[in-house]
Structure 1
């Protein structure tokens, strides 16, 4: 009898502890609530100029800022903001149609995730019809494909594969969104197969990733793309999917290492394993998103990771200016086998590379 009572009390106390830990991601002081921060950053997007790739097409940083604004608007049930975001997109059907990215590169095809998210929120079929070809053409080999691109395709991977860690957000996000709106398993199977290959090829024993096989540095935002990509993929990957255990293993190994490299203020450095390097906010926001998502879904131990996620979020907010722009953002960065190159990357305020990921955190915090 006493054993049963003790066991019941233990379960009750454990449940109460879990509630207390997860509440760390719900109760924020004024000025730090996800709704406040989301409103500030998302409404700024409506007035921003386009950030074009090669001066021609909507680039991926703008795509993800737009997507983040939409996710916030949906979570906040802000119909006025949704209409503003739709109105901005409407020009891409008409006067700004030339700005629609072509479908020949990993950094361009990811655009499809935006109209697919718009379809998810609004159920307007035009968005789905526009978005799905961006997912499909990642696996449709063009006639002028290079030999190495054809080789990837023959193995069942995207012909746009290049083994840069950035790809594991760019490829998986559009495939995952295509699966979300169609329930066609081919899309999630593609994303999972690609992710497993990248994990096998690129993840280091400590769970982190070099920028590329020939660039042995743990660049913050590059690792951020992997962390966010795995978190997004795991949200939609069926529980019984054959690749889920491998991807979860890669995710958990990375999260453990990230927790160890979290700097004293609660964020992460431009080079993750270098304590003398500067704090960088875009990668930090991506890691925070991965932590929040893991705790909310029960993948991460709330006792360990909820305090770390809260600390990171509270620190991120301090980098937001009165003009609703994030500070200390590394500019777009190609790989280079030179450590000093990463130290010396220019830092910007308001760069879309961080504005979007801040909103991913907002949406994740606002989810029930």
Structure 2
């Protein structure tokens, strides 16, 4: 009875979100909030946005990882929505990387820079043009090759490299999207299983080292806080790798277990609004958009792939999507995005992070999620 009253009130007062909030339907959406409409607006906004430098006044020297992730998301959305004009505009944005903007290609000196390689690899997948494959594959290979002379490598990174892991290993949960997105893309582009095997081995090490009994992850071993976006990177990274990891890969059961454990936990921490918080387990912490987008992406992939029970998890996806849409302004910029954040063993540090509007950390997962919802 109460649910029916809410539905009627929503219809009378023009709040279409309300009547759909508990639905498990991920195909039917009120006008103006469909993944096709929202994804198109956010992708067009990305194309119109110049190269960013995390809101610093100086011109950007290289493409940031946030821009790489948004670019990758826009390409995935263009493919899923069969939007040829959008794809062409994203290609046009990339062409200067072979000419006047070649100096903006990030050097493969750390995990954040290397994720750029996922963009040319996705361009190769969509166009078949080998110049993109060559660029992206070179970056993926360097992530596991002996570091160039002069590149600073910590003892932890060197030890990881000697044990068959990437020398980009630093045991921050952010890494498990940056590394897995690049290596999974290299596998999709080349069909060479060494790339997906690398990513799977790396993911298992992070799961075994950082996942807690509640399914969530500390930002790093020495930072005991469940930071939203950091956990979002982990969730999205597991969704990325599981989407392509062969069924017979010996590491697949461990990764799937880690993924399922995390997804169950996320359901219990989702706020009534549909959002997740800056510190996931802190009820007084502010609701944050980039983590919400990343969790929505990881969940919808699981529902679509049949890893997660639709009736249980799809309503959470729907609530999250509608909550994110409600935070988009007239420019298709999402509000309440945590600024770029290093690790720090200080709880207040995370709570006090600035809330940015239109930051690509938040724009990117909206594009991933829109693509996943319509794919």
Correspondence for 1:229 = 237
Correspondence for 1:150 = 158
Q: Note the 1:61-72 alignment, pairs <5 A.
A: 61-72=66-77
Q: Note the 1:313-328 alignment, pairs <5 A.
A: 313-328=321-336
CA distance in 2 between counterparts of 1:185 and 1:232 reads: 15
Residue 190 of structure 1: how far off its partner (Å): 0.2
Correspondence for 1:345 = 353
Correspondence for 2:216 = 208
Residue 133 of structure 1: how far off its partner (Å): 1.0
Correspondence for 1:191 = 199
Residue 147 of structure 1: how far off its partner (Å): 3.6
Residue 146 of structure 1: how far off its partner (Å): 4.0
Q: Note the 1:40-59 alignment, pairs <5 A.
A: 40-52=41-53, 55-59=60-64
CA contact (8 A) 1:22 1:302 kept: no
CA offsets per residue over residues 46-96 of structure 1, 9 Å max, x none? Answer: 111102489311001001111111111111111111111111100110011
Correspondence for 2:293 = 285
Q: Note the 1:1-368 alignment, pairs <5 A.
A: 24-52=25-53, 55-142=60-147, 143-144=149-150, 145-367=153-375
CA distance in 2 between counterparts of 1:218 and 1:138 reads: 27
Q: Which runs of 4+ in 1 moved over 2 A?
A: 52-55, 143-150
CA offsets per residue over residues 303-343 of structure 1, 9 Å max, x none? Answer: 11011111111111101111110000000000111111111
CA distance in 1 between counterparts of 2:158 and 2:70 reads: 32
CA offsets per residue over residues 269-319 of structure 1, 9 Å max, x none? Answer: 000001111100000000000110000000001111011111111111101
Q: Relative to 1, partners in 2 of residues 1:229 and 1:267: Cα closer, same or farther, differing over 3 Å?
A: same
- SS of the aligned residue for 1:207 comes to coil
Residue 140 of structure 1: how far off its partner (Å): 0.7
CA distance in 2 between counterparts of 1:342 and 1:154 reads: 34
Consecutive unaligned residues in structure 2, runs of 5 or more: 1-21
- SS of the aligned residue for 1:333 comes to coil
Q: Which moved more, 1:23-32 or 1:350-359?
A: 23-32
TM-score by length of 1: 0.92
Consecutive unaligned residues in structure 1, runs of 5 or more: 1-20
Residue 98 of structure 1: how far off its partner (Å): 0.6
CA distance in 1 between counterparts of 2:322 and 2:23 reads: 15
CA contact (8 A) 2:299 2:313 kept: yes
CA offsets per residue over residues 13-72 of structure 1, 9 Å max, x none? Answer: xxxxxxxx9961111110110000011000111111102489311001001111111111
For the aligned residue pairs, the C-alpha RMSD in angstroms reads 1.3
CA distance in 2 between counterparts of 1:217 and 1:23 reads: 31
Correspondence for 2:14 = none
Residue 148 of structure 1: how far off its partner (Å): 3.1
